[in-house]
Amino acid sequence: SVLFKLIKKLLKLIKKLKAEAKAQSSSKAAMSSHREEQVARLKHELEDLSRQCYFQRLKTSTTISEIIQYINSHVQEDPLLNPVKDNPFNPKKSCELL
């Protein structure tokens, strides 16, 4: 798939950057650290992409219907739609007429 091709390209790029970093002299420490940062960033991106390859993709049409079904089945337990009638923590108020 497209992700696997991208992962292969990233692996090749990481190997190339590592080889270039080793070939650089110690006088170019700033460039070397920049290359190391690039390698670290690409490794992180590679890990993210490889994790995404294993996610199960679902069609939106099926997930939307499942979400609507879940919402409808849990309407009675929703505190925003059905707030608590009597709050036990509020002090009892009594009306006194003078």
According to the model, what pLDDT value does residue 73 have? 93
Max alpha carbon distance in the chain (Å)?
94
pLDDT, mean of residues 73-95: 78
Query: Which CA distances in Å does 34 have to 51, 63, 82?
Result: 26, 44, 56
According to the model, what pLDDT value does residue 40 have? 86
**Stretch (H or E) spanning 4:** helix 2-23
Per the structure, the complete domain to which residue 13 belongs is given by 2-72
The pLDDT tens digits of the residues spanning 12-69 come to 877 777 777 666 655 456 566 777 788 888 888 888 888 888 888 889 998 999 999 9
Give domain status of residue 78, yes or no.
Answer: no
The span from the CA of 36 to the CA of 43, in Å, is: 10
Give domain status of residue 44, yes or no.
Answer: yes
For the chain, what percentages of helix, strand and coil (3-state, to nearest 5) are there? 65, 0, 35
Give domain status of residue 24, yes or no.
Answer: yes
